[in-house]
Chains A and B, each alone.
Chain A
């Protein structure tokens, strides 16, 4: 079945460090890929998305590129801030209009 596997956390970084959170997926056909973020005490919010191979999603300094050849959608940010501390979820929307989420990666950024 379809699934998403993402890097286990928790991840702790110093402010201005480079962030990578790995995400790989298994799906038939051509899913859309998403990163959602959940800040403490809040609901899930869409961070970025990509709908076809080689698309790059970007928002708030975060980027992820849809790589069909490696079935990956890794999240990156060049310089993290304390305000980026949250849980990040990788997700796919398959051709049957069902979403599958990864288990989430907790990020803590320390000043």
Chain B
């Protein structure tokens, strides 16, 4: 396995459009996390899944954001009616089981909303 992958790596969209990002975690990992990172800041937690169940959502995740992990493998993050403030790097990470295990991060999807 080559690690966590994300697609696309870069996305430029116009304000008001919808965008969808995909994350493929490390295959044996049952937990999957989404983060947002803006310039000069650390990653901010958005949501996470254990298998196909979405267990936690941050208050940062407005109703324009939705995430799915339909079969407990890959995940998608959709942003509807994008705003300029949504411009950021969206990071996906995965980990194996609960507890103290570290997360493995993907390269991120950089979103620019014009």
Contact = CB atoms under 8 A, between A and B. Distances in A.
Interface string A71-111: 00000000000000000010101001111111110000000
Contact of A43 (B56, B100, B105): B105
B42 A102 contact: yes
Nearest to B31: A97
Contacts of A101: 42-44
B105 A89 contact: no
B108 A103 contact: no
Contact of B98 (A43, A97, A99, A100): A97
A98 B60 CA distance: 14
A44 B91 CA distance: 9
Interface in B56-114: 56, 91, 93, 98, 100, 102-108
B33 interface: yes
A102 B41 CA distance: 8
Interface in A23-47: 32, 34, 36, 42-46
Contacts of B103: 46, 99
Given A43-B108, A44-B91, A99-B33, A104 B45 contact: no
- Sorting the interface of chain A by its residue count into under 10, 10 to 19, 20 to 34 or 35 or more gives 20 to 34
Nearest to B4: A43
B56 A96 contact: yes
A99 B45 contact: yes
A57 B27 CA distance: 27
Interface of A: 4, 32, 34, 36, 42-46, 49, 51, 89, 91, 93, 96-104
30 contacts: A32-B100, A34-B102, A36-B105, A42-B107, A43-B91, A43-B105, A43-B107, A44-B43, A44-B91, A44-B93, A45-B105, A46-B102, A46-B103, A49-B100, A49-B102, A89-B43, A91-B42, A93-B100, A97-B48, A97-B98, A98-B48, A98-B56, A99-B33, A99-B35, A99-B43, A99-B45, A100-B45, A101-B44, A103-B40, A104-B40
